[in-house]
A = this chain, B = another copy of it.
Amino acid sequence: MEYNFIAGGICAPKGFAAAGVHCGIRKNHSKLDLALIKADVRCAAAGVFTTNKVCGAPIKVDRAHLTDGYAQAILVNSGNANTCAANGVALAEECCQLVGQALGVSPEDVLPASTGVIGQPMVIDPFAAGIPAAAEKLAATPAGSWDAATAIMTTDTHQKEYAVQFQLGGKTCTLGAIGKGSGMIAPNMATMLAFYTTDAAVSPAMLQKALRQVVPGTYNQMSVDLDTSTNDTLLILASGLAGNPVIEAEGPDYDAFVAALTAIAEKMCAAHAGDGEGATHLITCEVTGAPDLKTARAVSRSVVCSNLFKAAVFGRDANWGRILCAIGYTPGDFSIDKVCVWLSSAAGEVYVCENAAYHPYSEEEAAKVLAEHDILVKVDMGLGEASAKAWGCDLTYDYVKINGDYRT
Protein backbone atom coordinates (compact mmCIF):
# COMPACT_ATOMS: atom_id res chain seq x y z
CA MET A 1 0.00 0.00 0.00
CA GLU A 2 1.17 3.51 -0.82
CA TYR A 3 1.03 6.05 1.97
CA ASN A 4 0.87 9.81 1.93
CA PHE A 5 3.88 10.89 3.94
CA ILE A 6 3.65 14.53 5.01
CA ALA A 7 5.76 17.08 6.88
CA GLY A 8 5.34 18.10 10.49
CA GLY A 9 6.49 15.05 12.45
CA ILE A 10 4.78 14.67 15.82
CA CYS A 11 2.96 18.01 15.40
CA ALA A 12 1.27 16.89 12.18
CA PRO A 13 -1.57 15.06 13.99
CA LYS A 14 -4.26 17.27 15.54
CA GLY A 15 -3.77 18.27 19.15
CA PHE A 16 -0.01 18.08 19.71
CA ALA A 17 2.60 20.73 20.44
CA ALA A 18 6.32 20.22 21.00
CA ALA A 19 9.47 22.12 21.88
CA GLY A 20 13.20 21.68 22.39
CA VAL A 21 15.48 23.82 24.56
CA HIS A 22 18.99 23.84 25.99
CA CYS A 23 18.69 23.48 29.75
CA GLY A 24 22.30 22.79 30.74
CA ILE A 25 22.53 18.98 31.04
CA ARG A 26 24.97 19.18 28.17
CA LYS A 27 27.93 21.51 28.37
CA ASN A 28 27.64 22.64 24.76
CA HIS A 29 25.21 25.59 24.91
CA SER A 30 24.31 25.32 21.25
CA LYS A 31 23.01 21.75 21.72
CA LEU A 32 19.34 21.42 22.68
CA ASP A 33 19.06 18.83 25.44
CA LEU A 34 15.45 18.85 26.65
CA ALA A 35 12.33 18.03 24.62
CA LEU A 36 8.73 18.46 25.70
CA ILE A 37 5.65 17.07 23.94
CA LYS A 38 2.18 18.11 25.05
CA ALA A 39 -1.24 16.95 23.95
CA ASP A 40 -4.30 19.25 24.15
CA VAL A 41 -6.29 16.43 25.71
CA ARG A 42 -5.58 13.36 27.82
CA CYS A 43 -4.54 10.70 25.33
CA ALA A 44 -4.74 6.95 25.18
CA ALA A 45 -1.12 5.99 25.71
CA ALA A 46 1.08 2.92 25.35
CA GLY A 47 4.75 2.04 25.38
CA VAL A 48 7.33 -0.65 24.85
CA PHE A 49 10.64 -0.67 26.65
CA THR A 50 14.09 -2.26 26.78
CA THR A 51 14.37 -5.86 27.88
CA ASN A 52 17.69 -5.05 29.58
CA LYS A 53 17.67 -6.01 33.27
CA VAL A 54 19.63 -2.81 33.89
CA CYS A 55 16.96 -0.26 33.07
CA GLY A 56 16.77 3.52 33.22
CA ALA A 57 14.86 5.16 36.08
CA PRO A 58 12.45 6.94 33.68
CA ILE A 59 11.28 3.57 32.38
CA LYS A 60 10.21 2.54 35.87
CA VAL A 61 8.20 5.77 36.13
CA ASP A 62 6.70 5.29 32.65
CA ARG A 63 5.49 1.81 33.51
CA ALA A 64 3.77 3.19 36.62
CA HIS A 65 2.24 6.16 34.78
CA LEU A 66 0.94 3.98 31.96
CA THR A 67 -1.00 1.60 34.21
CA ASP A 68 -4.22 3.57 33.64
CA GLY A 69 -3.62 3.73 29.85
CA TYR A 70 -3.59 7.52 29.60
CA ALA A 71 -1.04 10.32 29.43
CA GLN A 72 -0.79 13.89 28.22
CA ALA A 73 2.88 14.87 28.03
CA ILE A 74 6.33 13.43 27.33
CA LEU A 75 9.58 14.89 28.70
CA VAL A 76 12.91 13.75 27.22
CA ASN A 77 16.45 14.75 28.05
CA SER A 78 19.70 13.87 26.32
CA GLY A 79 23.16 13.98 27.94
CA ASN A 80 22.47 11.67 30.89
CA ALA A 81 20.66 8.31 30.87
CA ASN A 82 19.50 8.53 34.52
CA THR A 83 20.50 4.89 34.83
CA CYS A 84 22.52 3.26 37.64
CA ALA A 85 22.40 6.71 39.26
CA ALA A 86 21.43 7.34 42.89
CA ASN A 87 17.85 8.60 43.43
CA GLY A 88 17.09 8.25 39.72
CA VAL A 89 13.42 7.40 40.18
CA ALA A 90 12.86 10.25 42.64
CA LEU A 91 14.45 12.67 40.21
CA ALA A 92 12.35 11.42 37.28
CA GLU A 93 9.21 11.81 39.42
CA GLU A 94 10.23 15.30 40.44
CA CYS A 95 10.59 16.14 36.73
CA CYS A 96 7.01 14.93 36.17
CA GLN A 97 5.85 17.23 38.99
CA LEU A 98 7.57 20.17 37.32
CA VAL A 99 5.99 19.34 33.96
CA GLY A 100 2.59 19.00 35.66
CA GLN A 101 2.93 22.44 37.19
CA ALA A 102 4.15 24.06 33.98
CA LEU A 103 1.41 22.53 31.81
CA GLY A 104 -1.46 22.22 34.25
CA VAL A 105 -1.65 18.45 33.84
CA SER A 106 -1.46 15.63 36.36
CA PRO A 107 2.14 14.48 37.06
CA GLU A 108 0.87 10.91 36.60
CA ASP A 109 0.06 11.85 32.98
CA VAL A 110 3.67 12.77 32.24
CA LEU A 111 6.02 10.19 30.69
CA PRO A 112 9.76 10.83 31.15
CA ALA A 113 12.64 9.45 29.03
CA SER A 114 16.40 9.93 29.20
CA THR A 115 19.39 9.13 27.01
CA GLY A 116 23.10 9.66 27.50
CA VAL A 117 25.88 8.30 29.69
CA ILE A 118 25.00 5.55 32.18
CA GLY A 119 25.91 5.82 35.84
CA GLN A 120 26.41 9.55 36.12
CA PRO A 121 24.73 11.46 38.96
CA MET A 122 21.90 13.71 37.78
CA VAL A 123 20.58 16.88 39.44
CA ILE A 124 17.23 18.63 39.21
CA ASP A 125 18.52 22.16 38.55
CA PRO A 126 18.66 22.08 34.74
CA PHE A 127 15.15 20.60 34.67
CA ALA A 128 13.80 23.23 37.10
CA ALA A 129 14.92 25.92 34.69
CA GLY A 130 14.40 24.05 31.44
CA ILE A 131 10.88 22.69 31.87
CA PRO A 132 9.16 26.11 32.20
CA ALA A 133 11.28 27.37 29.28
CA ALA A 134 10.22 24.44 27.13
CA ALA A 135 6.56 24.86 28.15
CA GLU A 136 6.79 28.51 27.10
CA LYS A 137 8.16 27.50 23.70
CA LEU A 138 5.63 24.74 22.89
CA ALA A 139 4.39 25.04 19.32
CA ALA A 140 1.92 22.94 17.31
CA THR A 141 4.05 23.45 14.22
CA PRO A 142 6.65 21.60 12.15
CA ALA A 143 9.28 23.72 13.93
CA GLY A 144 8.07 22.44 17.30
CA SER A 145 8.49 18.82 16.19
CA TRP A 146 11.87 19.57 14.64
CA ASP A 147 13.18 21.19 17.84
CA ALA A 148 12.04 18.22 19.90
CA ALA A 149 13.65 15.83 17.39
CA THR A 150 16.84 17.88 17.71
CA ALA A 151 16.87 17.98 21.50
CA ILE A 152 16.78 14.18 21.86
CA MET A 153 19.76 13.55 19.53
CA THR A 154 23.03 12.19 20.93
CA THR A 155 25.47 10.82 18.36
CA ASP A 156 22.81 11.05 15.65
CA THR A 157 23.95 13.07 12.65
CA HIS A 158 20.46 14.17 11.66
CA GLN A 159 16.92 14.50 13.00
CA LYS A 160 14.53 11.62 12.44
CA GLU A 161 10.87 12.47 11.95
CA TYR A 162 8.05 11.25 9.76
CA ALA A 163 4.31 11.72 9.49
CA VAL A 164 1.79 9.75 7.48
CA GLN A 165 -1.91 10.18 6.65
CA PHE A 166 -4.47 7.40 6.36
CA GLN A 167 -8.22 6.93 6.48
CA LEU A 168 -10.26 5.50 9.36
CA GLY A 169 -14.06 5.42 9.24
CA GLY A 170 -14.16 8.16 6.57
CA LYS A 171 -11.90 10.46 8.57
CA THR A 172 -8.37 11.48 7.63
CA CYS A 173 -6.04 10.51 10.46
CA THR A 174 -2.42 11.41 10.93
CA LEU A 175 0.39 9.55 12.67
CA GLY A 176 3.68 11.29 13.44
CA ALA A 177 6.98 10.16 14.92
CA ILE A 178 10.34 11.41 16.06
CA GLY A 179 13.22 9.23 17.16
CA LYS A 180 16.85 9.17 18.08
CA GLY A 181 19.54 6.60 18.39
CA SER A 182 22.44 5.53 16.34
CA GLY A 183 24.49 3.29 18.59
CA MET A 184 23.66 0.75 21.33
CA ILE A 185 20.82 -0.34 19.09
CA ALA A 186 19.75 -3.96 18.76
CA PRO A 187 16.98 -2.50 19.23
CA ASN A 188 19.15 -1.10 21.75
CA MET A 189 21.65 1.63 22.87
CA ALA A 190 23.27 4.98 22.90
CA THR A 191 19.57 4.26 23.31
CA MET A 192 16.79 4.10 20.81
CA LEU A 193 14.04 6.52 21.76
CA ALA A 194 10.91 6.98 19.65
CA PHE A 195 7.82 9.06 20.30
CA TYR A 196 4.69 8.67 18.22
CA THR A 197 1.61 10.86 18.21
CA THR A 198 -1.68 10.32 16.42
CA ASP A 199 -5.06 11.99 16.29
CA ALA A 200 -6.72 8.65 15.58
CA ALA A 201 -9.10 7.53 18.31
CA VAL A 202 -7.80 4.23 19.67
CA SER A 203 -8.47 2.69 23.07
CA PRO A 204 -5.44 2.26 25.36
CA ALA A 205 -5.68 -1.52 25.13
CA MET A 206 -5.78 -1.55 21.33
CA LEU A 207 -2.98 1.03 21.18
CA GLN A 208 -0.77 -1.23 23.29
CA LYS A 209 -1.80 -4.23 21.22
CA ALA A 210 -0.92 -2.42 17.99
CA LEU A 211 2.54 -1.53 19.35
CA ARG A 212 3.19 -5.11 20.41
CA GLN A 213 2.12 -6.28 16.98
CA VAL A 214 4.28 -3.84 14.99
CA VAL A 215 7.49 -3.69 17.05
CA PRO A 216 8.67 -7.32 16.59
CA GLY A 217 8.83 -6.88 12.81
CA THR A 218 10.28 -3.37 12.86
CA TYR A 219 12.19 -2.00 15.87
CA ASN A 220 13.21 -5.47 17.04
CA GLN A 221 14.66 -6.13 13.59
CA MET A 222 17.03 -3.16 13.67
CA SER A 223 20.61 -3.37 14.86
CA VAL A 224 23.58 -1.09 14.91
CA ASP A 225 25.84 -2.93 17.31
CA LEU A 226 23.94 -5.66 19.16
CA ASP A 227 24.12 -3.71 22.41
CA THR A 228 20.63 -3.57 23.93
CA SER A 229 20.34 -0.22 25.65
CA THR A 230 19.23 0.22 29.21
CA ASN A 231 16.90 3.05 28.15
CA ASP A 232 15.16 1.98 24.93
CA THR A 233 11.71 3.47 24.89
CA LEU A 234 8.91 3.78 22.36
CA LEU A 235 5.86 5.78 23.48
CA ILE A 236 2.68 6.60 21.61
CA LEU A 237 -0.08 9.10 22.42
CA ALA A 238 -3.46 9.01 20.63
CA SER A 239 -5.53 12.19 21.00
CA GLY A 240 -8.65 10.98 19.21
CA LEU A 241 -9.15 14.44 17.70
CA ALA A 242 -9.49 13.10 14.14
CA GLY A 243 -13.02 12.13 15.09
CA ASN A 244 -13.00 8.56 13.82
CA PRO A 245 -15.04 5.95 15.68
CA VAL A 246 -12.82 4.78 18.53
CA ILE A 247 -10.94 1.60 17.71
CA GLU A 248 -11.86 -0.69 20.57
CA ALA A 249 -11.48 -4.11 18.95
CA GLU A 250 -9.83 -5.86 16.04
CA GLY A 251 -11.33 -5.21 12.61
CA PRO A 252 -10.66 -3.26 9.42
CA ASP A 253 -9.98 0.01 11.26
CA TYR A 254 -7.51 -1.65 13.61
CA ASP A 255 -5.80 -3.30 10.63
CA ALA A 256 -5.56 0.04 8.83
CA PHE A 257 -4.06 1.64 11.93
CA VAL A 258 -1.52 -1.20 12.30
CA ALA A 259 -0.62 -0.89 8.63
CA ALA A 260 0.03 2.85 8.97
CA LEU A 261 2.02 2.26 12.14
CA THR A 262 4.08 -0.38 10.32
CA ALA A 263 4.71 1.92 7.38
CA ILE A 264 6.08 4.70 9.53
CA ALA A 265 7.99 2.32 11.81
CA GLU A 266 9.78 0.82 8.78
CA LYS A 267 10.78 4.32 7.65
CA MET A 268 12.02 5.13 11.14
CA CYS A 269 14.02 1.89 11.38
CA ALA A 270 15.74 2.61 8.09
CA ALA A 271 16.47 6.15 9.34
CA HIS A 272 17.92 4.91 12.63
CA ALA A 273 20.02 2.16 11.05
CA GLY A 274 21.20 4.32 8.15
CA ASP A 275 22.39 6.87 10.71
CA GLY A 276 24.07 4.20 12.83
CA GLU A 277 27.19 5.44 14.56
CA GLY A 278 29.85 5.98 11.93
CA ALA A 279 27.72 4.33 9.23
CA THR A 280 28.36 4.93 5.55
CA HIS A 281 25.73 2.43 4.41
CA LEU A 282 22.21 1.40 5.36
CA ILE A 283 21.97 -2.38 5.04
CA THR A 284 18.48 -3.82 4.66
CA CYS A 285 18.12 -7.59 4.51
CA GLU A 286 14.94 -9.07 3.05
CA VAL A 287 14.45 -12.76 3.65
CA THR A 288 11.88 -14.71 1.65
CA GLY A 289 11.10 -18.41 1.35
CA ALA A 290 11.69 -19.02 5.05
CA PRO A 291 10.02 -21.99 6.77
CA ASP A 292 8.39 -19.71 9.38
CA LEU A 293 8.29 -16.09 10.53
CA LYS A 294 10.63 -16.66 13.47
CA THR A 295 13.33 -18.06 11.21
CA ALA A 296 12.79 -15.31 8.62
CA ARG A 297 13.28 -12.66 11.27
CA ALA A 298 16.25 -14.39 12.88
CA VAL A 299 18.08 -14.94 9.58
CA SER A 300 17.61 -11.35 8.43
CA ARG A 301 18.83 -10.10 11.82
CA SER A 302 21.88 -12.39 11.68
CA VAL A 303 22.92 -10.92 8.34
CA VAL A 304 22.64 -7.25 9.37
CA CYS A 305 24.31 -8.01 12.72
CA SER A 306 27.42 -9.78 11.37
CA ASN A 307 30.43 -7.62 12.19
CA LEU A 308 32.36 -9.31 9.41
CA PHE A 309 29.74 -8.65 6.75
CA LYS A 310 29.26 -5.10 8.06
CA ALA A 311 33.01 -4.47 7.68
CA ALA A 312 32.91 -5.97 4.17
CA VAL A 313 30.13 -3.57 3.15
CA PHE A 314 32.21 -0.68 4.46
CA GLY A 315 35.00 -1.95 2.16
CA ARG A 316 32.47 -2.37 -0.69
CA ASP A 317 33.52 -6.00 -0.86
CA ALA A 318 30.86 -8.48 -2.06
CA ASN A 319 32.07 -11.10 0.42
CA TRP A 320 28.90 -13.21 0.19
CA GLY A 321 30.52 -16.08 2.09
CA ARG A 322 30.08 -13.97 5.23
CA ILE A 323 26.35 -13.70 4.49
CA LEU A 324 26.15 -17.50 4.22
CA CYS A 325 28.17 -17.80 7.41
CA ALA A 326 25.74 -15.49 9.25
CA ILE A 327 22.73 -17.39 7.92
CA GLY A 328 24.37 -20.64 8.99
CA TYR A 329 24.88 -19.64 12.61
CA THR A 330 21.33 -18.39 13.03
CA PRO A 331 19.74 -20.49 15.77
CA GLY A 332 17.13 -22.97 14.57
CA ASP A 333 16.95 -26.21 12.69
CA PHE A 334 16.70 -25.49 8.96
CA SER A 335 18.49 -26.43 5.77
CA ILE A 336 20.78 -23.93 4.02
CA ASP A 337 21.12 -25.98 0.82
CA LYS A 338 18.65 -23.88 -1.22
CA VAL A 339 19.81 -20.46 -0.06
CA CYS A 340 20.17 -17.88 -2.86
CA VAL A 341 21.54 -14.37 -2.33
CA TRP A 342 21.40 -11.14 -4.32
CA LEU A 343 23.08 -7.80 -3.57
CA SER A 344 20.99 -4.90 -4.74
CA SER A 345 20.95 -1.11 -4.76
CA ALA A 346 19.95 1.81 -6.98
CA ALA A 347 23.02 0.93 -9.08
CA GLY A 348 21.80 -2.56 -9.97
CA GLU A 349 21.65 -6.10 -8.69
CA VAL A 350 24.11 -9.01 -8.63
CA TYR A 351 23.22 -12.66 -8.05
CA VAL A 352 26.09 -13.90 -5.90
CA CYS A 353 25.00 -17.22 -4.43
CA GLU A 354 22.80 -20.00 -5.76
CA ASN A 355 21.87 -23.05 -3.66
CA ALA A 356 24.48 -22.16 -1.03
CA ALA A 357 27.30 -22.05 -3.60
CA TYR A 358 29.04 -19.44 -5.70
CA HIS A 359 26.97 -17.98 -8.55
CA PRO A 360 29.14 -16.33 -11.22
CA TYR A 361 29.01 -12.52 -11.06
CA SER A 362 31.17 -9.56 -11.93
CA GLU A 363 33.12 -8.20 -8.95
CA GLU A 364 33.20 -4.86 -10.76
CA GLU A 365 29.40 -4.75 -10.99
CA ALA A 366 29.14 -5.82 -7.35
CA ALA A 367 31.45 -2.99 -6.29
CA LYS A 368 29.18 -0.55 -8.15
CA VAL A 369 26.14 -1.91 -6.33
CA LEU A 370 27.93 -1.55 -2.99
CA ALA A 371 29.04 2.02 -3.72
CA GLU A 372 25.48 3.22 -3.03
CA HIS A 373 24.45 4.28 0.49
CA ASP A 374 21.39 2.05 0.66
CA ILE A 375 22.21 -1.64 0.18
CA LEU A 376 19.61 -4.38 -0.03
CA VAL A 377 20.60 -7.99 0.65
CA LYS A 378 17.97 -10.36 -0.72
CA VAL A 379 18.01 -13.86 0.68
CA ASP A 380 15.66 -16.57 -0.54
CA MET A 381 15.77 -19.69 1.60
CA GLY A 382 13.74 -21.87 -0.78
CA LEU A 383 11.94 -23.56 2.09
CA GLY A 384 8.55 -21.93 2.66
CA GLU A 385 6.44 -18.81 2.50
CA ALA A 386 7.58 -16.69 5.43
CA SER A 387 9.41 -13.41 4.95
CA ALA A 388 10.92 -10.63 7.06
CA LYS A 389 13.14 -7.59 6.91
CA ALA A 390 15.93 -6.30 9.11
CA TRP A 391 17.86 -3.03 9.12
CA GLY A 392 21.46 -2.39 10.00
CA CYS A 393 24.52 -0.48 8.89
CA ASP A 394 28.16 -1.03 8.05
CA LEU A 395 30.96 -1.19 10.61
CA THR A 396 33.41 1.65 10.08
CA TYR A 397 36.46 3.36 11.51
CA ASP A 398 34.15 6.07 12.77
CA TYR A 399 32.05 3.62 14.79
CA VAL A 400 35.21 2.72 16.66
CA LYS A 401 36.26 6.37 16.96
CA ILE A 402 32.86 7.50 18.24
CA ASN A 403 32.71 4.75 20.83
CA GLY A 404 36.37 4.80 21.78
CA ASP A 405 36.04 8.28 23.21
CA TYR A 406 32.32 8.72 23.73
CA ARG A 407 32.66 10.19 27.20
CA THR A 408 35.51 12.59 26.45
Q: Which residues of A contact B (CB under 8 A)?
A: 51-55, 81, 83-86, 117-121, 183-184, 186, 188-189, 225-230, 305-308, 311-312, 314-315, 317, 319-322, 324-330, 334-336, 353, 356-358, 395-397, 399-408
Q: How far is the CA of A356 from the CA of B321 in the complex (A)?
A: 41
Contacts of A227 in B (CB 8 A): 306-308, 322, 325-326, 329
User: Which single residue of chain B is at the shortest CB-CB distance from A225?
Assistant: B307
Q: How far is the CA of A84 from the CA of B324 in the complex (A)?
A: 9
Give Cα A393–Cα B83 distance, bound, in whole angstroms: 26
A-B contact pairs, 8 of them (CB 8 A): A55-B328, A86-B357, A226-B226, A226-B305, A227-B322, A228-B329, A307-B399, A317-B405
Q: How far is the CA of A23 from the CA of B108 in the complex (A)?
A: 74
Q: A320-B119, A403-B312 are in contact. Are A356 and B183 (CB under 8 A)?
A: no
Interface centre among A119, A189, A306, A326 (most CB of B within 10 A): A119
Q: Which chain B residue has the least Cβ–Cβ distance from A339?
A: B54
Of the listed residues A330, A404, A406, the one surrounded by the most CB atoms of chain B closer than 10 A to its CB is A404
Measured between beta carbons, the chain B residues less than 8 angstroms from A118 are 321-322, 324-325
Q: How far is the CA of A406 from the CA of B316 in the complex (A)?
A: 11
How far does the Cβ of A33 sit from chain B's closest Cβ, in whole Å?
18
Taken together as a complex, chains A and B put the C-alpha atoms of A353 and B81 apart, in Å, by 16
* Inter-chain contacts of A229 with B (CB < 8 A): 325
Interface contacts beyond A54-B356, A84-B324, A397-B401: sample of 20 additional A-B pairs, CB < 8 Å, sorted by A: A53-B327, A53-B328, A53-B334, A54-B336, A55-B328, A117-B319, A119-B357, A120-B358, A186-B329, A189-B325, A226-B306, A230-B324, A230-B325, A307-B307, A315-B403, A315-B406, A317-B405, A395-B403, A399-B400, A400-B400
The reply to whether A311 and B403 contact each other, CB–CB distance below 8 Å, is yes
- Residues in B neighbouring A321, C-beta threshold 8 A: 81, 83-84, 117-119, 230
Q: Taking the nearest CB of chain B, how far is it from the CB of A348, in angstroms?
A: 20
Task: Give the complex CA separation of A226 and B183 in angstroms.
Answer: 17
- Among B53, B358, B400, contact of A119 (Cβ-Cβ < 8 Å): B358
Asked whether, in the complex, the Cβ of A311 is within 8 Å of the Cβ of B404, the reply is yes
Query: Which of B51, B121, B356, B396 makes the CB contact (< 8 A) with A329?
Result: B51
Q: Which B residues are in CB contact (< 8 Å) with A184?
A: 308, 325
Q: Is the CB of B399 within 8 A of A52?
A: no
Chain B residues with Cβ under 8 A from A85's Cβ?
A: 357-358
Residue of B nearest to A331 (CB): B51
